[in-house]
Amino acid sequence: MSGKTVSLFIQCLVDTMFPETGEAMITVFDRLGIPYDYPKGQTCCGQPAFNSGYQQDAAAAAKHFIDLFEDAEVIVCPSGSCVHMVRHHYPDLFADDPAMHSRALAVGAKTYEFTQYLVDELGIVDVGSDFTGTVTYHDSCHLSRGLGIAEQPRTLLGNIQGLELIEMKDSDTCCGFGGTFSVNYPEISTAMADEKIDNILETNAEVVTGCDISCLMNILGRVSRREEGAQVLHIAQILAGAKRDQGEKI
Amino acid sequence: MSSPNSTYSEEAKKGIASPRLQASLHNLQHRFGKGAMDLWANMEDQDMRRRVKKSRMKNLAHLDIVLDELAEKVRARGGNIYFAKTAQDAIDYTLAVARKNKVKRVVKGKSMTSMEIGIDPALEDEGIEVVETDLGEYIIQLAGDTPSHIIAPCIHMDRNQIGKLFAEKLGIDHTNDPPTLTMAARKALREKLLSADMGLTGCNLACAETGHISLVSNEGNIRMSTTMPPVHVALMGMERIVATLEEHRETTQLLTRGAALQKLSTYVSFIGGPSSDDDPDGPKEFHLVIIDNGRSKILADPEFREVLACIRCGACLNICPVYGRIGGHAYNSTYCGPIGAVVTPLLDGINKHADLCKGETLCGACKDICPVQIDLPRMLAALRHKLAYGSDRWNTKQHNPAEAYTFRIWRLLVTKSSLYQYLIKIARFFQRPFVTKNHMIRKMAGIASGWTDGRDLPPIAPKTFAELWEEKYSKNRPAAPKAAEEEN
C-alpha cells in the first residue's frame, strides 16, 4: 500500500451540508491505515462559476485551491465532478499563463476521486465493512463520462458483506442537477430527477448511493419532497459501514 | 438565468406535461440513443469515428480549396454554383431561378438548411406552391406545425393525430392505421412530384474529388424530387463537404448509423449536375447553392470551429436527457437538442438564445454519442463564458449583470476562507426558522426558490467538516508520517 499522506479535499457541499460523508471517508482511511491530513482554508473548487461561464471567477477559486494543495502528496475527494474540475478544467483556465498552467497540471495529476484512489491507486477492492441491505448505484456524469469511473465503486460495493447491489435502469443518465441549471431551470431539472427516482424505486433497493454529493443532494431533495422511502447515502458512508437509516449518525 | 416567462422554460413545461410527447421521446431515446451507443461500442473499426472527425477538421481547415474544387467539377458538368453569403442571398438566387423557369410548384426533399434560411415563405410569397415530400415533414406542413427533431420531425405527434389530420386535409376516411396513412400520403405526394416544376433539397455531403453532392433517405422521395422536375436546386451548408470519395464513404456510414442505426440508408443519391446526352436521367438545370449564413464566423473562431464538423445525424437528440424531457419545440429553432443549443446561438445570436446556452446540465452524453465526437459540452461552457462577461467578437453583451455580480461576491468568499466560514455561520443561524421537522428546508425565497419549488434542501449541518476536523480529528488522529516529522 502507498504510504502517501492523503490530503482530504472536502467538497463545499460535503463541508457545509454533509460533513458525515467526510467523516465516513476518515473512518475508511483509519480502518485501512491510510494516513491523511486536512489542509485548512478550503472553500469551493470553482465548478459553479466555471459551469456558469464565469471563468475568471472560477480561476480565482482554482488559484486558491492550487495554493492550498500544491504541496500535497496526493489529493482525494468524495466528489467526482470536483475532481473532474481540478483535473480537466483547471489547466484550461490557465491556458494563457504558462506558470499557473503547469502548476494546475501538477495538482490535477495527483487529485483522485475517493473510490478511484482506493481501487486504482492502492489496489484495495475490499474495505472490510458490513452493510446489510439492498443498494442501487447512480453513475454521476462527470465521474463516469468525464473520469471513466464506473467499475471502481461497483467493485467496492460488491465486496461488502451483506450488501446486495441492484442495478437501476439508465444508471448513467443525468439526475438533472447541473449546478446552477437546477435553480435556473427547475422544471426541467425536477423532471429529470423524477425519471432518475422512478428508476431507483423500480429496483426496490433500500438505498441509493453514488460518488458525487451534488447529484445525491438533488436526488435526496426530490425524494424527500415526494416523500419516497429510498434512503440516499454517499458511497463513503456505506464503505464506512453505515447502518441503514442511520446515515447521519455514523 | 432564464426569465420565468422565457420561451424555453415555458415550452419545456408544456413538453414535460404532455404524456404523448413523453412516451414518444422515451421510445425514441430507448431505441435510437441506446442503439447508437451499442453500435459504437461494438463497431469492428474502433478508429473510424476518430478518423472521420480528423478528416472533417482537415476539410474545415482547407474549406476554400475543397469548395473551389467542388465548384469547378460541378460547373464542368454543366451545373450552376452560387456562393450565398447570407440567407437572403440564397433566397434571392433561388427565387431568380424559379422566376426564370416560371415555377408554379416546388417539391422539397427534407432539408434543415432550407428551414434555417426560411425559403418556404419566400417562395409562397411569390405565389409558388411548396410541398414537403418527406413523410414527416409533409405531416408537419399539413399541420402548420414546426419540426421537433432533426431526423424525425413529427416525433411529437402520434398516429391518432395524424389520422385526424389526414382525414381533414386529404379528405380520406379517418383511420389511425400507419400503412393506410402512408399510402394516402404517397398518393397525394406522387401527384405533386409528377407535376412539380422544381425540386428543392438540402445536401448531406458534397465530395470535392468527384464533384457531386449526396442525399440520404429511406423513402425515395428525395430521389424523385431531384430527378422528376426539370430544375433542381440544392441548398448546402458550406461545411458539408469531404475531400475524397473515400472520406465520403466513411462519413456517410457514420451519418446513417448515427441517424437511424443503419449501415446504409435505403437510398443514397449522388447528384453531380444536370442530365446530358449520355446521361439522360435528371433535371435540365442543376443549381448548387453553397450557403455561409454565419458559418465563416464560426470557422474563424478556434473555440467553435469544431461544431462545423457536425454531420446532422441527430444522434445527440436521441440521448440528451434534457431533450428527452422537453422535446424539440422548446428550442424555438431549426436546430434543436444539444447540437441546436450550440449552433443556434452561433448562427443567430448568443444573447437571443441565451437559454439554449444555459439550459443543459453538461452531462456529456451528447459528446459520447456523437459519431464525430464533437465536444458540445465544452462549447456550451464557452458560450456561457461569452454571456458571463460579454464578447466583442460575438457581439454579445453581458447577459445577466446581477448574476455576474453574485459571482464576483462568490469569488471574494471562496478566496478568503475566514470570510467564507464566517458567512456559513451566519447562514446557519438564519436558516433555523426554515428547517422543518424532517430536517430539511422546504421553502426559500428569490432565485433559491428554483430549488425548493420542487425539492427539499438539506440545511447547513450543526458543525461543518472544517469545524469537526478542528474538534475531533486534528489532534487525535493517526499521525501522517510526513506531518509528524514536521511537527517534530
Is it the case that residue B479 has pLDDT exceeding 70? no
More confident residue, B438 or B340: B340
> By C-alpha distance, which of B36, B451, B80 is closest to B289?
B80
A247: DSSP letter:
G
Most B CBs within 10 A among A171, A224, A233, hence the mutation to make, goes to A224
Q: Is B461 at the interface with chain A, CB within 8 A?
A: yes
In chain A, whose CA is at the least distance from the CA of B414? A43
Question: What are A56-103's pLDDT values in tens digits?
Answer: 999 999 999 999 999 999 999 999 999 999 999 999 999 999 999 999
Contact A187 B457 (CB under 8 A): no
Q: Is A250 at the interface with chain B, CB within 8 A?
A: no
Supply angle C-alpha A33, A37, A43, rounded to 5: 140
Average pLDDT, chain B: 94
Most A CBs within 10 A among B27, B465, B472, hence the mutation to make, goes to B465
Label residue B485 by pLDDT band (50, 70, 90): very low
Q: Please state, in angstroms and rounded to a whole number, the distance separating the CA atoms of residues B295 and A42.
A: 44
Q: Is A174 at the interface with chain B, CB within 8 A?
A: yes
Label residue B21 by pLDDT band (50, 70, 90): very high
Note whether residue B245 is domain-resident: yes
Average pLDDT, integer, range A3-27 = 97
Contact A52 B481 (CB under 8 A): no
Residue A18, C-alpha cell as written in the block: 454533509
Q: Please state, in angstroms and rounded to a whole number, the distance separating the CA atoms of residues B251 and B241.
A: 10
Note whether residue B52 is domain-resident: yes
- Report residue B121 CA to chain centroid gap: 22
Question: What are B401-446's pLDDT values in tens digits?
Answer: 999 999 999 999 999 999 999 999 999 999 999 999 889 999 998 8
Contact B2 A184 (CB under 8 A): yes
A239: DSSP letter:
H
Contact A188 B424 (CB under 8 A): no
Which CATH fold would you assign to the domain A126-249?
A: Rossmann fold (3.40.50)
Q: Is B459 at the interface with chain A, CB within 8 A?
A: yes
Residue B272, C-alpha cell as written in the block: 453531380
Residues B82, B210 within the same domain: yes
Is it the case that residue B289 has pLDDT exceeding 80? yes
Which residues in chain A touch residue B364, judged by CB atoms under 8 angstroms apart? 141-142, 145-146
Label residue B198 by pLDDT band (50, 70, 90): very high
Note whether residue B28 is domain-resident: no
Q: Is B264 at the interface with chain A, CB within 8 A?
A: no
Question: What are B110-167's pLDDT values in tens digits?
Answer: 999 999 999 999 999 999 999 999 999 999 999 999 999 999 999 999 999 999 999 9
Most A CBs within 10 A among B16, B34, B411, hence the mutation to make, goes to B411
Residue B58 pLDDT: 98
Residue B190, C-alpha cell as written in the block: 406522387
Choose the closest CB to A52 out of B388, B466, B481.
B388
Contact B458 A14 (CB under 8 A): no
Contact A184 B359 (CB under 8 A): yes
Contact B464 A19 (CB under 8 A): yes
Most B CBs within 10 A among A88, A185, A237, hence the mutation to make, goes to A185
In chain B, whose CA is at the least distance from the CA of A145? B364
CATH number for B82: 3.40.50.10420
Residues 68-127 of A with CB under 8 A from B: 73
Number of domains in chain B: 2
Residue A3 pLDDT: 83
More confident residue, B79 or B487: B79
Residue B277 pLDDT: 86
Which residues in chain A touch residue B368, judged by CB atoms under 8 angstroms apart? 145
- Where do we find the cell 447553392? B289
Label residue B486 by pLDDT band (50, 70, 90): very low
Domains of chain A: which residue ranges?
6-120, 126-249
Query: In this structure, how many other beta carbons lie within 10 angstroms of the beta carbon of residue B255?
Result: 26
Domain boundary among B268, B296, B324: B296
Residue B447 pLDDT: 85
Is it the case that residue A245 has pLDDT exceeding 90? no
Which residues in chain A touch residue B456, judged by CB atoms under 8 angstroms apart? 220-221, 224-225
Boundaries of domain holding B154? 43-296
Note whether residue B337 is domain-resident: no
Which residues in chain B touch residue A212, judged by CB atoms under 8 angstroms apart? none
Q: Please state, in angstroms and rounded to a whole number, the distance separating the CA atoms of residues B31 and B33.
A: 6
Which residues in chain A touch residue B336, judged by CB atoms under 8 angstroms apart? none
Residue B67 pLDDT: 98
Q: Please state, in angstroms and rounded to a whole number, the distance separating the CA atoms of residues B335 and A227.
A: 38
Contact A22 B438 (CB under 8 A): no
Domain boundary among B296, B325, B343: B296
**Residue A161, helix vs strand vs coil:** strand
Contact B12 A184 (CB under 8 A): no
> Distance (Å) from the C-alpha of residue B119 to the closest C-alpha of chain A?
33
Note whether residue B381 is domain-resident: no
Residue A244 pLDDT: 54
Residue B438 pLDDT: 85
Label residue B279 by pLDDT band (50, 70, 90): confident
Choose the closest CB to B455 out of A18, A20, A222.
A222
Q: Is B387 at the interface with chain A, CB within 8 A?
A: yes
In chain B, whose CA is at the least distance from the CA of A63? B415
Domain boundary among B296, B329, B362: B296
Note whether residue B194 is domain-resident: yes
Q: Is A228 at the interface with chain B, CB within 8 A?
A: no
Average pLDDT, integer, range B60-87 = 98
Is it the case that residue A223 has pLDDT exceeding 80? yes
Burial of A166 (0-12, 13-18, 19+ CB in 10 A): middle
Average pLDDT, integer, range B467-479 = 79
Label residue B366 by pLDDT band (50, 70, 90): very high
HEC assignment per residue over chain B? CCCCCCHHHHHHHHHHHCHHHHHHHHHHHHHHHHHHHHHHHHCCCCCHHHHHHHHHHHHHHCHHHHHHHHHHHHHHCCCEEEEECCHHHHHHHHHHHHHHCCCCEEEECCCHHHHHHCHHHHHHHCCCEEEECCHHHHHHHHHCCCCCCCCCCCCCCCHHHHHHHHHHHCCCCCCCCHHHHHHHHHHHHHHHHHHCCEEEECCCEEECCCCEEEEEECCCHHHHHHHCCCEEEEEEECCCEECCHHHHHHHHHHHHHHHHCCCCCCEEEEECCCCECCECCCCCEEEEEEECCCHHHHHCCCCCHHHHHCCCCCHHHHCCCCHHHHCCHHHCCCCCHHHHHHHHHHHHCCCCCHHHHHCCCCCCHHHHHCCCCCCHHHHHHHHHHHHHHCECCCCECCCCHHHHHHHHHHHHHHHCHHHHHHHHHHHHHHCHHHECCCCCECCCCHHHHHHHCCCCECCCCCCCHHHHHHHHHCCCCCCCHHHHHHHC
Whole-prediction pTM? 0.95
- Where do we find the cell 447577459? B399
Note whether residue B324 is domain-resident: no
Contact B460 A14 (CB under 8 A): no
> By C-alpha distance, which of A192, A140, A171, A218 is closest to B359?
A192
> By C-alpha distance, which of A216, A230, A149, A147 is closest to A182?
A216
